[in-house]
Each structure stands twice: as C-alpha cells, then as structure tokens.
Amino acid sequence: MRKYFYLFVSFIFLYNMNGYTQTPKFMDPSLSIETRVNDLVSRLKLDEKVNQMLNSTPGIPRLGIPPYDWWNECLHGVARTKYHTTSYPQAIGMAATFDVNAMKKMGDFTSDEGRAIHNESLRKKDYSRYTGLTYWTPNINIFRDPRWGRGQETYGEDPFLTSMIGTAFVEGLQGDDPKYLKAAACAKHYAIHSGPEPSRHVFDVNVSSHDLWDTYLPAFRQLVVNAKVTGVMCAYNAYAGQPCCGNDKLMVDILRNKWNFKGYVTSDCGAIDDFYETHKMFPDAESSATDAVLHGTDVECGNSTYKTLIQAVKDGKITEKEIDVSLKRLFTIRFRLGMFDPASMVKYAQIPITNLESKPHTELALKMAKESIVLLRNVPMSGQKNNLLPLSKSIRRIAVLGPNADNANTQLGNYNGEPSVVTTVLQGIKSKLKNTDVFYSKVTDFVSTQPGDFSKLINSLKDADVIIYVGGISPRLEGEEMKVSKPGFSGGDRTSIDLPAVQTDFLKALKATGKPIVFVMMTGSALAIPWEEENIPAIINAWYGGEAAGTAVADVLFGDYSPSGRLPVTFYKRDSDLPPFDDYSMQNRTYRYFKGAPLYPFGFGLSYTKFSYGNLKLSKSAIKKNESINAEVTVTNSGKMKGDEVVQLYLTHLESGKDIPLYSLKGFKRITLAPGVSQKVNFKITPGMMELVNEDGKSVLNSGKIKISIAGSLPSERSEELGAAKPAESILSVE
C-alpha cells in the first residue's frame, strides 16, 4: 500500500520540481478517467507512445510512470508467477461442472490472488512479466475438433455453454466495483481459431456466414456486449484473406462498429510479425505495424514490429493522432485498474500476499474438481447385482496403476500455476484408505511403439481385490505448438483420437484377470475408447483436475461424492467420424450437427443416484414471434443417495434445412436433491433463444414447431442407451 502512496506523492513532487504549480490533471482522482487519459497522452512524445504499445512497456521517469507488462495469465488460477497459487481444474474441466456460480467465484478468487501478487510486486518494485493485472484469459474459441491440442483451454464445443461459463469467469475476475476493475480479462483468440497448431501462422480460414455467426462469434459477442470484457486478443491465422489482427470485417465492422467495443485489443504473441513473415500480406514490418494499428490492434505482444511505427509516422503512413487512439484505450484500462490513484482509494489494493492459497480458494478447487468428474460407465461385474462403483472402503488390497496415477504434472494442465500442494490419485486413495494395502506401478508411458509384456506385473496383482488404472493422455502431449512427434500426436495436436494402443493393450491384459477394474481417464480432449466402453465395468473422466484432483477422484471412487460432471464435448467412436481437421465447416461436427452415433454424447454424465423428469408445462403451447414462454419441469431424485443434477434445456426446430442444428443447448441449472425429493425447475425461453442463423448470417425466428426437451443429458437415444434419464418433452408452435 505504501508503494502506491509514495508513487502518488512522487508524481506531485516531480511536477512541482519542474515548475508546475498544480497537480497535473492525469494525477487528479477527482477528474474523469477520460480527462485524465487525454491529459497524460498529450504529454507523451512519439517514441514514448510507441513504447507503450508493446506488451512490455518501459517506464517514463520524467512523468513518474513505472514500467508495466501487459502479459499475464490465469486460465485456471493465477499462472506462471514466482508465488504458489491455487490451481483449479483445467478450463475444459471447469466447463464440465456446468456450474456458473462456482465459475464466477473462481474468477473472483483468482483475481484476489492476482491482486495480492500485484500489490506485493509493487511493494518490491518488481515490474516483471506476470505481475500485472491484465490477464489474457479466457480462451473462448469453440472446441470444434477433438484433435486440437489447445481445446483443453476452452469451455468446449457449444457456443451457449462457452458464453455462460465465460461470462461467469469474466464477471468474477473483473469485480463489481462501480469505479475500479479488480483485474482485466481478455477474450481470445478472436476469431475462428482452433488449429491445427503447426499451421496457425499461415492458415487462412474461410467459413460460411452461417457458421461464422452461428458457431464462431456468439461467445465473443456475449463477452464483449454483455459481460463487458475489457480486452480481446486477435488470432494468428487469417480470415477471408486478411490476418485476424488486421481484418476489416472482424476488427472494424464487427468488433468496433457492430459491438461497440471500447476496450483494448492485443495481438497474439508474434502475430504482427506474421503479417509480413508468413502471411506475406505486406513487404515489411513498418507496413504491417501500420495496418494492425489502423485496424484497432492496440498492443503488440512482441518487441520489434511496433517500434517501426515511429518511422511510419515520419513516412506519412499513419498519424500520431491515429496512434493516440490506441494509447487512450490502453491507459483507460490502467486508470480503471487504479494504477494512478492512491491505494487508499482502491479497495483491491489492500489485498495482502497472505491471500494466496487461502482456505476458501483451496476448498473451491476441490469442489470444482469433484463437480468436473464425469462418470461415463458403471455396471455390475458378472454375477453381481450392484454397479461396481462406488467401491467399499473396507477393501483389503487395491492396485493403483498407470502413467497418471501419481502424476501431479498432468493434473495441472497447461497455462497453470504451481500450488504448494498437489494431491495425486495415488495420494488421494492412500489418504482415504488408511488400513488398505495399496500397490502402485506406473506400468508404461503414455505412448509406446513396442509391444508390451505385462505378464510379470499381472502376476503380482493376483491378490488385489480391485484394480484402478489411471491413464489417458497428458498436457505434455497436447498443447500449444509443441515439439512433440509420437504415435497419435504431432506439434501439440492429435493425429488420432484413440486412446494410445499400449494402454488399451494393458487394459485387455487386466480384464483377463477377471478382477474388478476401474478406468480413470485424465485428458483435455475427447478420447475414443470403444473397447473400454464395452469391456471395462467402470469408467470416469477426471480431465486435468488441478491441485485437488486426487482427493476428488478418491471421493468419487469411494462414494463420498456422487459424480455430477457433464461432457462439454462430444466423445466420438473413431477417427473416421471426423471431417478433415483443417476443414472449419461445422457440417457433421459437434453435437449440434453430427449425424452419427457418438460414443458419449455432449452433456452426458451418470450419477450414483437416479433422477427422473416429468410434468413438463409450457406457459403457452402457441406463441407469436415476439413472445417469451416459461417452461417448468419436475425433477425427482428417485435413487438412494443425495446428488447434484445438471438440468439441461434443448430446443430442436422441426423444420427442415441443412443449417438447422439437430439440438441446441439454451439453458442449464445445477441443483442438489436428497433421495425421494422433487424440485420444480423453471426456464424462460425468449424469442432470441428460438432464433436460427440463416445462410446470410442473420438471426431469424421462423414460424413452425419447436421441440422443447429438458433432461440431464443430450435428449438422444444414445444418452438413454447409456443410462441417462428419459427427457421431458413438449412441442411449441410459433405463429
């Protein structure tokens, strides 16, 4: 706090020493931010202005302005800092919770920790990267193809789910103070960006107007227009012949004009270099920098291309007044963060470093890890009546096997922080079963090109009562532009969605023992496991569950928590189900347009109890196009255990047409029910929710019939085959 005060006093002292008799306007908190920003920018020289448009900005001593680095990360907790921070489940896992309240709280707790680090860093005069308050999160690209390695950073394949989870995060992170931002969120990567990773610097995406407005833009629009996100990051790739960071349609027509975005835009790191180096759109850095700024890219994540703006002004390619537009956006964010006001005026400047990893934060990390776990399969062993899970805590001997059984690195995902304590699955099981003999072996790596001989290990398992195999994949195999080349993986992406063959081979060997087997998967993307679905009695997907993943998995395995996670992506059966990876058309992609039978549908997840849906009532059975209706359904816990249910609302337009989604998620609510208890759940269905996007990209509400389905999963035959409750459905007529 003292650092803020001394900084404020130093500004006043500096100006008094230079002959000023009054505090400069930009240091007067009583004035409007616009007045202060205009005053500050008017005092800057051209070279100072340009240097403030790099992500790592130097200080301006003559004005008392300290250095600042715009680059910071908090995908699922504050990342890449020198301090220990709380690590929540990877973004795809948080989406699987379908819990907007927990997500908003997670954003709030994350900005608490970010503020604590920023405040401590100011006290130490540490202005290095990852100490600032501008976070380049969330990643709201649509996870259109499970082969994309960065899909783990997203909230899944559905525009509505992505919009709602993203909104909750942004609102939590940015805070609710009427004057000051707690932190600044940034929606990325704008837009139409989802791999392949190796070609992202050269790729030129062309999509239909329908797909653009139906799939790729809704979440960005929601965060910009409604959640008031303060930043946007433009993508590496080109769209319709222009790099995204210099794109007429995306940057000017839509973002600034249609959506009236007033915040700042940063390039992805090195994306302006790509204008001339890989996209070959311009002859040199100077022309590229000019084009990016004129299209509204205010910050270059880089350290060279924007420096040529000084010469560009001298050459008449851009005016200093045009550069001022970007400068004012940037300083507006910093003023809104309270960086030029005394700490006593900014309540967030009081958050101490002791806030890191506080008890409420670590408790929420565990809660979200448990809520993210998806029970995919749970059937009895041959000759038994009860499903295999939950397991008894009185088991005498248990074998915990697999490359993720004791792997803290996998659990933390990517773009992660480093918590002081990470509980692995092995540790979680040992903590829960104090009197059980627990045998552990890693068995194999994730991927192997050599046929495995598991006979010796299998022989050592003869006394085990239950076998828990913790496999899947790893963020060291899938992620951002990685130098990985192994069977099934290339450059950070996946070349096959199959579970690596060595793991299936080992599971086959385990099945031959006749012992009960639980398969715990960790993954950031959908895996094809058709053999496992047919042959392994219990399968759970634990994603990359963060610091508390091991405790959460143990709680689920042994019945201290009934699983309630839902899939935010479709799990396909095989590679041949997928269109070419570099085809951005949404035809036959995701639950909304996939015409085949999935292995596990979007929204699917089993429980240890049973829920039923009935008595669906619509406030009207026929409406005019400008009317809203209410839908009410009764959800009952007809099982024997308390549990959470994710109640999901889907609309299906019964008219025909190639661009009409098969289903569209339009609402969801997470509820908790004790055994035998019923609850009425209400949804308001507005005209906007019933609109379709036509081939011209326009949202229209046509006359016709709409099927309204409310269920605990995608309302499909496949969901019911897998054990999901039968949906409650009704038909609405739109006149």
Contacts of 305-308 with C-beta under 8 Å, sequence gap 24+, read: 305/272, 305/273, 305/275, 306/50, 306/53, 306/54, 306/272, 307/50, 307/51, 307/54, 308/284
Contacts of 74 (CB under 8 A, 6+ apart): 110, 111, 114, 135, 137, 173, 183
Cα 704 off chain centre by: 35
Contacts of 656 (CB under 8 A, 6+ apart): none
CA–CA gap between residue 470 and residue 403 (Å, rounded): 7
Active-site option among 99, 214, 268, 547: 268
Which residues on neighbouring strands pair with residue 299, listed in sequence order?
A: 266
Residue type, 133: L
Catalytic residue flag (residue 273): no
CA–CA gap between residue 348 and residue 346 (Å, rounded): 5
Angle at which helices 549-557 and 359-372 pack, to 10 degrees?
50
Greatest C-alpha distance within the chain: 92
Catalytic residue flag (residue 268): yes
CA–CA gap between residue 698 and residue 694 (Å, rounded): 5
Strand blocks (E) in 414-508: 437-441, 466-472, 485-486, 489-490, 493-494
Active-site option among 108, 145, 478, 532: 478
| Residue of 19, 17, 37, 16 whose CA lies nearest to 27 | 37
Distances (CA, A) of 506 to 14, 210, 410, 535: 71, 45, 20, 13
Write the secondary structure of 545-596 as one string of H (helix), E (strand) and C (coil). CCCCHHHHHHHHHCCCCCCCCCCCCCECCCHHHCCCCCCCCCCCCHHHHCCC
CB atoms within 10 A of CB 386: 10
> Helices marked H in 208-284 — which ranges?
209-211, 218-221, 271-277
CA–CA gap between residue 397 and residue 377 (Å, rounded): 23
CA–CA gap between residue 126 and residue 511 (Å, rounded): 56
CA–CA gap between residue 222 and residue 34 (Å, rounded): 26
SS3 of the chain: helix, strand, coil, percent, to 5 = 35, 20, 45
Contacts of 85 (CB under 8 A, 6+ apart): 77, 78, 79, 113, 117, 356, 357, 417, 418, 419
Q: Are strands 699-700 and 466-472 parallel, antiparallel or unpaired?
A: unpaired
CA–CA gap between residue 144 and residue 454 (Å, rounded): 37
> Is residue 63 within 8 Å of residue 49, measured between CB atoms?
no
As given in the structure block, the two tokens for residue 472 are 């899947």
How does DSSP classify residue 424?
-
The H or E element that residue 67 is part of is: none
Which residues on neighbouring strands pair with residue 408, listed in sequence order?
A: none
Q: Are strands 538-541 and 517-522 parallel, antiparallel or unpaired?
A: parallel
Contacts of 534 (CB under 8 A, 6+ apart): none
Residue type, 512: A
Q: Are strands 611-618 and 622-623 parallel, antiparallel or unpaired?
A: unpaired
> Is residue 17 within 8 Å of residue 303, measured between CB atoms?
no
> Is residue 615 within 8 Å of residue 587, measured between CB atoms?
no
Catalytic residue annotation: 268, 478
